């Protein structure tokens, strides 16, 4: 018996379809409203005897697997897998198709991700090393129900925990690097995610495709969020966080809320609003729009009101128009994001959603409030900001409505505005984002530069290290080793080594073996130090300027002046 025959023998089509459509008995059959077309008189029929359905309003009909394909917008393989789960059947691939090597790889990645999720969840919920994750989750009001629902976990700060666990489960380092769970750093293979609250990324069937990790340590230059790289199963441009958890609510409410932050959907679920999703490390994309289109024709955007957020909204409007979505914007008022609003005034979230504003009208209001429309310069500025947006709108009725609004503000005729729009070039602001691989590359290059500086010092006999500032090191292990070098005048004995941590000993061994024969002179060391010291001062200066922008503390200005003068001396 084939897989399909086994699944069909165990599934009751009435039970399957009843999960999606309200069915009522009609003679020997069942009847309901069409799930594919809007209708008032039921024309959707299900025959328990024949195990088939027929939707007379759309002409769609078939068996339970066909229904899942049409309703969930799944491929045959995806629908078969979902039906198999419902029937409690393990697929053997005996359905007129052979398991390809690519399918085997996908299955192995998903299995590794499932084990990884279990490991991170165990650390977060039960292990003593998960305390930083538990503390951070508590700070963000992420309770036990949210942890269970979204499968939160914690990746501890050590380098080899997950690696050791998965190798015991039969996985090789090479494939785990390919899966995005381990990375190669400095001739070593270590866990990719460290000291991060972990959020698994699931597809519509609940399979874990990858991870997003929120850094909760003290290293200032660590990327705030680190996401899994692209693999055979994960493409961040075609997946949305919260889609698995919120797809039913999106279909039921017939609109989806799109937010920027990974925690926003979690907070919204906590207060009972589940039709909410977030992109992962990227702007809203056509692939994500295509996914949402399976469930609704309406989207509500909730982006920041800064320049980056506004540009992101304009890009999202372009995509929404291309995919024929109706679109609105949530005005969060004084709050920076949905999570902030929900934690401050949870009862306000539902009201904010019900008061959603049409996207273009929102931008007209936002742009006009920032300009002095009594002046010609203010009118020109509004014109330059809003006309490219109007150029994106495809429906004639909509564009005429917006033209009337803008014409009144600019004190022009509607014909004049229409001509200006027709002459306007389509402009979509490009996102400025540093991808994960670029972040890792930059981080690795910086780490290696400081490591090379340590190697030059360790392998040089006559360098006065007291002239160097240990604060240039951002990596704690590197800084610790440098301070020991200073304290011992670069004479680290075996007795001293025995008192050091494994990380420092390993680093000392590494830098002692780096080939520095071509550039180990005193001038090279001094010049490299100046470069690193200058970088340290510039980062410190930037931090002080940010503090000064929100503070009236005069001492900050003095510190800025001191650092500026110090930079001039280098």
pLDDT at 417 over 80: yes
- Residue 8 banded pLDDT, cuts 50, 70, 90: confident
Give the pLDDT band (50/70/90) at residue 98. very low
Q: Write down which residue in 181, 209, 234 finishes a domain.
A: 234
Is 216 domain-assigned? yes
Q: Does residue 130 lie in a domain region?
A: yes
- Same domain (yes/no): 144, 289: no
Task: Kindly report the pTM of this predicted structure.
Answer: 0.63
208-260 pLDDT, tens digit per residue, is 999 999 999 887 778 888 999 999 999 888 899 999 999 989 988 999 999 98
Whether residue 194 is found in the same domain as residue 218: yes
Do 74 and 211 fall into the same domain? Answer: no
At 272 the pLDDT is: 96
Mean pLDDT (whole number) for 446-465 = 82
Instruction: Check residue 150 and give its pLDDT.
Output: 97
pLDDT of residue 519: 64
**End position of a domain, from candidates 35, 54, 87:** 87
| Any domain includes 145 | yes
The pLDDT value recorded for residue 442 is 55
**Distance in angstroms (rounded) separating the CA atoms of residues 171 and 182:** 11
Give pLDDT, residue 549.
Answer: 53
CATH number at residue 389: 3.40.1360.10
Which residues, including other chains, have CB under 8 Å from residue 214's CB and lie 6 or more apart? 136, 196, 197, 199, 224, 225, 262, 263
Same domain, 552 and 483: yes
**How would residue 75 be classed by pLDDT, with cut points 50, 70 and 90?**
confident
Q: Say whether both 452 and 376 belong to one domain.
A: no
Q: 92 lies in a domain?
A: no
User: At which of 185, 211, 234 does a domain end?
Assistant: 234
pLDDT at residue 271 is higher than 50:
yes
Whether pLDDT at 264 is above 80: yes
The two most distant CA atoms of the chain are separated, in Å, by: 98
When pLDDT is averaged across residues 400-424 and rounded to a whole number, the result is 88
Within a domain: residue 95? Answer: no
pLDDT tens digits, one per residue of 498-522: 788 878 888 887 788 777 766 667 7
What CATH number has the domain bearing residue 137?
Answer: 3.90.980.10
Residue 446 has pLDDT above 70, yes or no: no
Give ∠ CA 392-397-399 in degrees, rounded to 5.
35
Query: How much is the average pLDDT of 359-368?
Result: 92
- Grade residue 449 by pLDDT with cuts at 50, 70 and 90: confident
Q: What is the pLDDT confidence band of residue 13, given thresholds at 50, 70 and 90?
A: very high
pLDDT band at 541 (very low <50, low <70, confident <90, very high): confident
Inform me whether the pLDDT recorded for 68 exceeds 70: yes
Give me the sheet containing 298-302, strands edge to edge.
276-277, 256-259, 298-302, 326-329, 357-358
Considering the domain architecture, whether residues 268 and 344 belong to the same structural domain is answered as yes
Place 426 in a pLDDT band, splitting at 50, 70 and 90.
low
Cα-based angle 556, 558, 564 (whole degrees, multiple of 5): 100
Clarify whether residues 229 and 248 are in a common domain: no
**What pLDDT score does 427 carry?**
55
Least Cα distance to 264 among 225, 298, 236 occurs for 225
CA neighbours closer than 13 Å in the CB half-sphere of residue 223: 21
Residue 160 has pLDDT above 80, yes or no: yes
- Summarize pLDDT for 123-146 with one digit per residue, the tens: 999 999 999 999 999 999 999 999
User: Within this chain, do residues 406 and 501 fall inside the same structural domain, yes or no?
Assistant: no
pLDDT of 24-41, one tens digit each? 998 878 999 998 887 788
My answer on whether 353 and 216 are in the same domain is no
Would you state the pLDDT for residue 96? 46
What pLDDT shows up at residue 357? Answer: 94
Do 105 and 222 lie in one domain? The reply is yes
Whether pLDDT at 439 is above 60: no
Calculate the alpha carbon distances from 13 to 35, 56, 137, 528 in Å: 15, 17, 42, 72
The residue written with tokens 């190669």 in the block is 184
Q: 30 has which bridge partners?
A: 25, 46
- Return the structure tokens found at 26: 């009609």
Q: What is the pLDDT of residues 481-504, one digit of tens each?
A: 999 988 888 888 877 877 888 788
d(CA 274, CA 247): 8
Span 276-301, pLDDT tens digits = 999 976 689 998 998 998 889 999 99
| Amino acid 130: pLDDT | 94
Same domain, 448 and 418: no
Q: What is the rounded CA–CA span in Å between residue 119 and residue 130?
A: 11
* Residue 248 belongs to domain spanning: 243-423
Range from 3-12, 183-192, 241-250 carrying the lowest mean pLDDT = 3-12
Confidence of residue 340 (pLDDT cuts 50, 70, 90): very high
Check residue 90 and give its pLDDT.
Answer: 82
CATH of the domain at 68: 3.90.580.10
Kindly report the number of other CB atoms within 10 A of residue 359's CB atom. 25
Asked, for residue 538, whether it belongs to a domain, the answer is yes
204 vs 134, higher pLDDT: 134
Q: How far apart are the first and last CA of the chain?
A: 79
- pLDDT for 547 equals 64
Is position 428 within any domain?
no
Average pLDDT over residues 180-196: 92
Same domain, yes or no, for 334 and 378? yes
Q: How many domains does one find in the chain? A: 4
**Residue 301 in domain:** yes
Closest CA relative to residue 8, chosen from 56, 59, 58, 68: 68
- Mapped onto helix, strand or coil, the DSSP state of residue 26 is strand
């Amino acid at each position: 018996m084939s897989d399909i025959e086994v699944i069909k023998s165990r599934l009751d089509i009435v039970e399957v379809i009843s999960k999606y459509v309200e069915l009522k008995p009609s003679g020997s059959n069942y009847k309901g409203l069409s799930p594919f077309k809007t209708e008032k008189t039921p024309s959707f029929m299900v025959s328990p005897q024949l195990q088939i359905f027929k939707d007379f309003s759309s002409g769609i009909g078939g068996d339970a697997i066909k229904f899942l394909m049409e309703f969930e917008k799944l491929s045959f393989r995806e629908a078969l897998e979902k039906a198999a789960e419902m029937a409690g059947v393990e697929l053997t691939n005996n359905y007129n198709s052979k398991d390809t090597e690519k399918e085997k790889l996908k299955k192995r990645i998903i299995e590794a991700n499932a084990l990884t999720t279990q490991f991170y969840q165990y650390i977060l919920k039960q292990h003593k090393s998960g305390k930083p994750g538990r503390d951070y989750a508590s700070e963000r009001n992420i309770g036990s129900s949210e942890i269970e629902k979204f499968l939160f976990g914690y990746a501890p700060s050590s380098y080899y925990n997950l690696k050791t666990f998965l190798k015991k489960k039969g996985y090789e380092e090479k494939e785990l690097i390919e899966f995005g769970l381990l990375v190669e750093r400095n001739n070593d293979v270590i866990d990719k995610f460290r000291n991060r609250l972990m959020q698994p990324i699931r597809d519509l069937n609940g399979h874990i495709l990858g991870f997003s990790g929120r850094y909760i340590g003290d290293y200032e230059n660590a990327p705030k969020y680190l996401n899994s790289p692209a693999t055979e199963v994960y493409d961040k441009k075609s997946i949305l966080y919260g889609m698995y958890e919120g797809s039913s609510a999106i279909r039921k409410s017939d609109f989806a809320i799109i937010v920027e932050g990974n925690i926003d959907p979690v907070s919204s679920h906590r207060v009972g609003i589940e039709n909410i999703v977030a992109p992962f490390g990227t702007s809203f994309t056509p692939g994500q729009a295509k996914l949402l289109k399976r469930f609704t024709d309406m989207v509500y955007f909730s982006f920041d009101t800064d320049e980056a957020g506004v540009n992101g909204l304009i890009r999202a409007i372009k995509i929404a128009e291309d995919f024929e979505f109706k679109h609105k914007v949530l005005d969060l008022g004084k709050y920076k994001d949905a999570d902030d609003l929900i934690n401050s005034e949870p009862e306000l979230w539902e009201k904010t959603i019900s008061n959603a504003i049409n996207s273009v009208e929102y931008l007209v209001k936002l742009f006009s409030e920032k300009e002095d429309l009594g002046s010609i310069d203010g009118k020109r500025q509004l014109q330059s900001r809003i006309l490219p947006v109007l150029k994106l709108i495809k429906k004639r009725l909509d564009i005429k409505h917006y033209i009337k609004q803008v014409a009144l503000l600019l004190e022009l005729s509607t014909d004049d505005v229409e001509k200006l729009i027709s002459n306007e070039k389509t402009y979509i602001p490009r996102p400025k984002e540093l991808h994960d691989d670029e972040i890792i590359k930059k981080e690795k290059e910086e780490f290696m530069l400081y490591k090379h500086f340590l190697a030059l010092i360790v392998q040089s006999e006559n360098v006065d290290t007291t002239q160097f500032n240990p604060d240039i090191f951002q990596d704690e292990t590197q800084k610790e080793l440098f301070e020991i070098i200073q304290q011992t005048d670069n004479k680290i004995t075996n007795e001293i080594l025995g008192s050091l941590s494994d990380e420092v000993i390993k680093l000392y061994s590494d830098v002692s073996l780096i080939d520095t024969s071509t550039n180990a002179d005193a001038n090279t060391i001094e010049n490299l130090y100046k470069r690193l010291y200058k970088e340290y001062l510039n980062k410190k200066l930037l931090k002080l300027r940010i503090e000064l922008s929100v503070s009236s503390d005069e001492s900050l200005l003095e510190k800025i002046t001191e650092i500026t003068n110090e930079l001039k001396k280098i």
